[in-house]
Amino acid sequence: MKQNPPNIVLIMADQLAPQFTGAYGHPFVKTPHMDALSARGAQFDWAYCNSPLCAPSRFSFMSGQLVTNIAAYDNASEFPSSILTFPHYLRVMGYNTCLAGKMHFVGPDQLHGFEERVTTDCYPANFAWTPNWELPDERIDRWYHNMDSVFEAGCAASTFQIAYDEEVSFSTKKKLVEYAGDRERPFCLVASFIHPHDPYVATPEWWNLYEDVEIDLPNNILDYDQLDPFSQRIMKGIESNNPKITEEVIKNARRGYYANMSYFDSQIGMIVKTLKETEQFDNTIIIITADHGEMLGERGLWYKMNFFEPSGRVPLIMAGPGIINRKVKSICSLVDVLPTLIDIGVQGGMEEPELVQAIDGRSLLPMATSDFEDGGEAIGEYCAELTPSPVFMIRRGDYKFICSEGDPPLLYNLEDDPEELDNLVGKKEFASILGEFEREAANRWDIDKIRTDVIAKQKQRHTLFKALEKGKVSHWDYNPPRDASTEYVRTHMDWKFATERTRIPPFKPSS
C-alpha cells in the first residue's frame, strides 16, 4: 500500500445475501457497480455476520467484539458508550469519521465515535423491541416479523425505506463533496442503507428492471416437519408455514428483493461517481458489506435470525489503492472489519493506536493485498427472539456447526453440501469432528451464565421502557444538527471564497 493514508468509504446494506448478487454468481440479478468493484478488488467469498439480526450484528461490526462479550443480544440491547469502536480508533489515528444512514444504535449515545452523523436513524433508539425469553413463544405483534412483507411485495412510488435511503444518498454525496474541499485529514465515511431489507417494495424504475425476467424459486422449500427445532420456531414465529404462500407470491417477493438489490447497487455507483468527480477516487479504499443476509424463501424461511448460508453470509468486497484483484477463500466475519480499518491507516503511515479492549477479529488486509490465506473462522451467536436459549455457530474449514441447548446439533460439510440438507450428526465417520466442535462449544460458551444474563437484561429493559414512557418523555432518536447561518452564502462570508471552496474540481484558468 502507498505510504499515504487512504480515505475509507464503507458502504453497508441491510439484509443483503451475497448469493443474490452478480458479483457472487447470481445468473440475472443486476449489480453492475458491485461487480465492477469486485472485478478490480478483493472479494471475500466466505464472510459471515456474527449475529443474524440488525443491531447485534452492527454492534459486533462496530466494536470488533462478539455479541456475548458486549451483551449486544437483540434489537433493543443498549450499545454502551464505554465500548470502543473503529471510529474511536480512527479518530485517534487522525481520521475524520462520519456516519450517513442506519446503524441501529440503542441508547442515548447515537454517535459511538463518529465525529459527525448527517442523518437520523430509521429505527427507534429505545428499548421498545425487547424480547422475553421467559415467554419465547409469545409474539410481539407490533414489531415481530410476519409474512406481510411477502404478501404485500410490489411496486410503489415511495415507502419510508425509499425516502430514508434517498436522504442517505443525498447526505453521502454532499459529505464527499465537502471532504473534497478540505483534505487536511483522511476520512472514513460509512454510508449505511436500509435496502434491500424487506418490505419487498420497489419504485417503478427498479421493479421494471425485472419485467421480462423469469424469477427463480428457492432451491429448497422445506415443510415444517423437515426443519430442525430452531427453524421450526422461526417458521412458526414469522408465520411462514402458510398455505396461501403460492409460487406466484414467492416470485413476486423475490422480484421486489432483486429490484431493491439493484437500487442499492445504484447507490454504490453514485458514490464511486462522486469520488471520481471530486478527484478522491484514486486514494480511497471502498468496502462493501452488509449486516446479515436474507433467506428469501429458502428452506421455507424468510428474513434472517438463523445461521444457514442465505441468512448468515454477507458480502465483503474491498477495492482501492494497494488492494489486488483476487477471490479470497479464507473464512472471515464482521468482527474482522475493525482491525482491518486500523491496519489500512497503519499501512498508510499512521501511528497504530493501542487496542485497550480485547478484539475478536483479525486484519484482512494481508489477504486483500497479497496471495496470503490464513484459513480463518467465523463465530456466530444469536440471543434474540424466537429462541429460549442462545444459538451458536462455528464455521471453520469445510464445516459449519450449529448448536443450542435443548436442540439437536447440526453439522454440515459446505464443500460437499452447500445447500445444508445433509446433517452429518449421527454418522459414524463424522463422530470425531462433531465431538471436537461440541467440546469447543462447551469450553467457549457458559450457556447458563449467558442465558441468565440475557433474561436479567431483558427484565431491566422492560421496566426501563415502561418508566421512560411515563410522564415527560425524552427521546434518544438522533436529530442531525444543522446551522443554516453557516451554509451556502451568508453576509459574514466572502462570496468569492465560498464559490472557490465549493467548486469541485476547482476552476483552472486557460493559459
**What confidence tens digit (pLDDT) does each residue in 188-228 have?**
999 999 999 999 999 999 999 999 999 999 999 999 999 99
Of the chain, the percentage scoring pLDDT greater than 90 comes to 89
Beta strands in 356-510, from DSSP E residues, in sequence order: 377-382, 391-396, 399-404, 410-413
Confidence band (pLDDT; 50, 70, 90) for 1?
Answer: very low
- Can you tell me the distance from the alpha carbon of 333 to that of 362, in angstroms, rounded to the nearest whole number? 9
Of the chain, the percentage scoring pLDDT greater than 70 comes to 98
Active site amino acids: 54, 104
Mean pLDDT of 150-170: 96
Q: Identify the weakest region by mean pLDDT among 335-339, 372-376, 483-487.
A: 483-487
pLDDT for 142 equals 64
Q: Give the helix ranges, DSSP H, for 348-446.
A: 365-368, 431-444
Mean pLDDT of 38-57: 98
pLDDT for 341 equals 98
Mean pLDDT of 471-485: 93
Give every CB contact of residue 476 below 8 A, 6+ residues apart in sequence. Answer: 106, 107, 108, 110, 125, 126
pLDDT digits (tens, 9 = 90+) for 21-39: 999 999 999 999 999 999 9
Q: Identify the weakest region by mean pLDDT among 92-106, 246-260, 361-375, 497-511.
A: 497-511
Whether residue 13 has pLDDT greater than 90:
yes
pLDDT digits (tens, 9 = 90+) for 353-408: 999 999 999 999 999 999 999 999 999 999 999 999 999 999 999 999 999 999 99
DSSP 106: -
pLDDT for 98 equals 98
Phi-psi region of 297 (alpha: psi -120 to 50; beta: other; left: phi over 0): left
Q: Which residue has the higher pLDDT, 490 or 384?
A: 384
pLDDT for 138 equals 74
Q: Is the pTM of this model over 0.85?
A: yes
Q: Which residue has the higher pLDDT, 3 or 365?
A: 365
Give every CB contact of residue 21 below 8 A, 6+ residues apart in sequence. Answer: 29, 31, 34, 35, 261, 265, 315
Instruction: Give the strand pairing for 7-14 and 187-196.
Output: parallel
Which residue carries 446494506 as its cell?
Answer: 13
- Can you tell me the distance from the alpha carbon of 306 to that of 293, in angstroms, rounded to the nearest whole number? 10
**Most distant pair of Cα atoms in the chain: their distance:** 81
Task: Give the chain's end-to-end CA distance (angstroms, integer).
Answer: 36
Mean pLDDT of 448-452: 97
Fold of 7-379+472-502: Alkaline Phosphatase, subunit A (3.40.720)
